[in-house]
Amino acid sequence: MKRLLLIFTLAISSLFAMAHELSSPNGKMKLLVELLNGTPTYQLHLNEKAIIKQSKLGLELANNQSLMNGFTITDVQTSSVNDTWKPVWGEQSEIKNNYNELALTLQQKSTNIKILLRFRVFDDGLGFRYEFPEQENLVYFVVKEECTEFAMAGDHKAWWIPGDYDTQEYDYTTSKLSEIRGLMEKAVTPNASQTPISATAVQTALMMKTDDGYYINLHEAALQDYSCMHLELDDKNMVFKSVLTPDAVGNMAYMQTPCTTPWRTVIASKNAGDILLSNITLNLNEPCAYETTDWIKPVKYIGVWWEMITGKSSWAYTDEVLSVKLGETDFTQTTTNGRHAANTQHVKDYIDFASEHDFDAVLVEGWNEGWEDWFGKSKDFVFDFVTPYPDFDVEVLRDYAQSKNVKLMMHHETSGSVRNYERHMDTAYQFMAENNYNSVKSGYVGDIIPRGEYHYGQWMVNHYLHAIKKAADYKIMVNAHEAVRPTGMSRTYPNLIGNESARGTEYEAFGGNNVDHTTILPFTRLVGGPMDYTPGIFETKVSVYNPDNNSQVRTTIARQLALYVTMYSPLQMAADLPETYNKHLDAFQFIKDVAVDWDKSLVLEAEPGDFITYARKAKNSENWFVGRTNDGQARTSEISFDFLSADKKYIATVYADAKDAHWETNPKAYEVRKYQVTRKSKLKQLCAPGGGYAISLVPIEDKNELKGLKKL
């Protein structure tokens, strides 16, 4: 009997000590988790190719308490999920959630502390996180360091921006991993808002490509009540280690059991388009937290914004000399009443334009008192979010917008004074609800005050979510700028309809973005959620608006149209001035027609840093839209329309670069052509340097529409 008991005990001990394997539903993605001398490790393979080599897991807590080793496995659970869910808005009207799960409970011998490691393996990648169940030996604790590793299998090509606790507003660099250290200084031209963490730290989502053609993306999902993760590269061994954003005293996170960390994600495929179409980030977030969502609607808007960004107009009302550093450019403005853009009559003009062209809303920045104080007199100035300048009549504009069936979009610049914003939040949101505003663009420019926190630390992460939840109480949608980059939280809180959190179109007026910028962002920043990139700039010479600003937007008009398809967002802005659109109404027609919510999305062509071609089917419609964004090299795009319905013919309106188009020398050279197409049609289209094309595809209902149309 004793012998049988010993054999049984040894068998159980062996079970919990052995390596644990888990495959994806299609069997091609394989995870291996095991304890290495008491330290948890994992590795990931796709088609027998190493995506992540053996990598360590663990955390260091305050008071020199280590959760890195000394563990045994005390419980093993596996499960599978295969279901679908419908987002309130998105790139697909229905999303498949299919994974196999492994949950390992670990116990540290010396402390009896328990950690549960939960892994979910999808066909296109992996999500895993640390979970801390309720327990006697761990109640309140402080994370000093998270030591999650991502060991690379080679010196991969990477598209990266420097690690920074306060901003993602960098141009991307393309290099080998081994070159990051040497290129960091060349890649970064720091301004007042940029402070790289180290010579080898980068931000997520990080995009890579192996020498044998596998694409790998590292990011995180469901970031809440925790600090944003960066990645520090050990470039001798090609191992990334997580680096959390510290608070004002150097701690990373304050936790109370039961609790979890965000998910760490690895998306991998032999096909670049699979990275763009992956739903891992969304699927690792919780379902929608709201009982009703009929008040959450995608928005196409124009705004009193670009004229101020270029320096044509001013945010401030009073006569004052202002000096401010925007991006890499120093601007000095002398403001007068005549240059204040947010005045009643001027905003009416924008409302008229929005109404004429069926836009949903008009954003107005610089409407409230205090801009001259914030820019000029005191960096600690705080706004109250309800007091308009004398030339901005809230009630008149409210009633005028309502008469035109147009909403006004609020702007809240917090100036980084977060406690002040939270004190005013209820009053500000109530003010919005009473005056025809159902969405707000919030800003967090400058250092976080008064505590000296970082934009991406736990304290600020909690604030951003608090603002979203509070807005929901008033049925308000949020578009947060300068906030932490998204991690799929819009599934749970779909009134988060937009974020900036990257180098957007505004930098085109501050010296320009790299020409390949929009061929990289969908693989990096947009992996976590949509971006308010503010496309639609037709006048690429900024000096036309402001003779003192010699910046040039590095794009052709055709590519600006394509961005409405390639840069996904349920919140899309026509960012240029009405006076400019009136000069190009044939091209502007695409911006009017293109959808902002989709039933289906496909990637027809893609290579990070080179080109992306999307096809998307509009929500509850048979209309399709295609967009192609191109880098600085002239290329020929070749696509098939085999995604169209077999029983329909379509009118294809193609907005393309002219033969002599070039972002620098001839950006306004475009052509608008119409064809008759079916699913058997194919297109071969030249894309200029910095160019692209856009296509609208509308089913033909009347045979008379076929007259004069060439077949493609």
Tell me which residues are annotated as active site: 506
Q: Which two tokens stand for residue 540?
A: 């690429």
Cα–Cα distance measured from residue 600 to residue 378, given in angstroms and rounded to the nearest whole number: 49
| CA angle centred on 71, ends 68 and 73, rounded to 5° | 135
Describe the strand order of the beta sheet including 239-244 as a list of residue ranges. 20-23, 29-36, 39-46, 49-56, 149-151, 239-244, 229-234, 201-203
Altogether, the residues listed in the chain come to a count of 712
DSSP 284: T
Residue whose entry in the numeric block shows the structure tokens 């495959």: 23
- Between the CA of residue 179 and those of 53, 187, 207, 243, what are the distances in Å? 21, 11, 15, 20
The whole-angstrom separation of Cα 635 and Cα 612 is 12
| Residue with tokens 């360590």, as numbered in its chain | 56
Q: Report the distance separating Cα 85 and Cα 92, nearest Å.
A: 10
CB-based burial of residue 419 (10 Å sphere; 0-12 exposed, 13-18 middle, 19+ buried)?
middle
Distance CA 486, CA 205 (A): 10
Residue 578 CB neighbours (<10 A):
16
Q: Which of 435, 597, 657, 438 is nearest to 89 (CA)?
A: 597
Q: Whole-angstrom Cα distance, residue 293 to residue 279?
A: 21
The helix (H) or strand (E) run that includes residue 210 is none
Torsion angle of the four alpha carbons 333, 480, 390, 547, in this order, in degrees rounded to the nearest 10: 20
How many of the other CB atoms lie within 10 Å of CB of 582?
10
